[in-house]
């Protein structure tokens, strides 16, 4: 068995396990065991946007100049905005799966 990773026409990467004798194209046509993550459309993106907006206000990151001065905080703001909705999504998937 071996792993095949490919990118579809929409730019999404996919991963599947196929038999050693199978071609890479077979994985792309659903002939392998998929290892794709769950559909991220299940994440509450409205909550992510609201969290991001509020964090930008709280950290006074409301203009380009202010964001540049706070450059070391930018990544943390995005992670913090996404973390709650992402974790809630994963917990919901675990309940269903």
How far is residue 53's CA from residue 31's CA, in Å, rounded to a whole number? 43
d(CA 59, CA 27): 46
State the pTM of this model.
0.74
- The domain limits of the chain are 2-34, 40-96
Per-residue confidence (pLDDT) for residue 49, from 0 to 100 = 98
Residue 9 has which token pair?
A: 């026409």
- Dump pLDDT digits (tens) for 18-58: 999 998 888 888 788 888 888 899 999 999 999 999 999 99
Helix (H) or strand (E) holding 18: strand 13-18
């Amino acid at each position: 068995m071996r792993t095949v990773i490919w990118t579809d026409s929409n730019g999404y990467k996919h991963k599947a396990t196929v038999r050693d004798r199978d071609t890479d194209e077979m994985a792309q046509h659903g002939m392998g065991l998929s290892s794709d993550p769950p559909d991220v459309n299940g994440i509450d993106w409205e909550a992510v946007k609201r969290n991001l907006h509020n964090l930008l206000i709280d950290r006074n990151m409301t203009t380009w100049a202010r964001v540049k001065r706070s450059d070391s905080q930018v990544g943390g703001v995005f992670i913090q905005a996404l973390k709650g909705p992402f974790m809630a999504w994963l917990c919901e998937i675990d309940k269903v799966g």
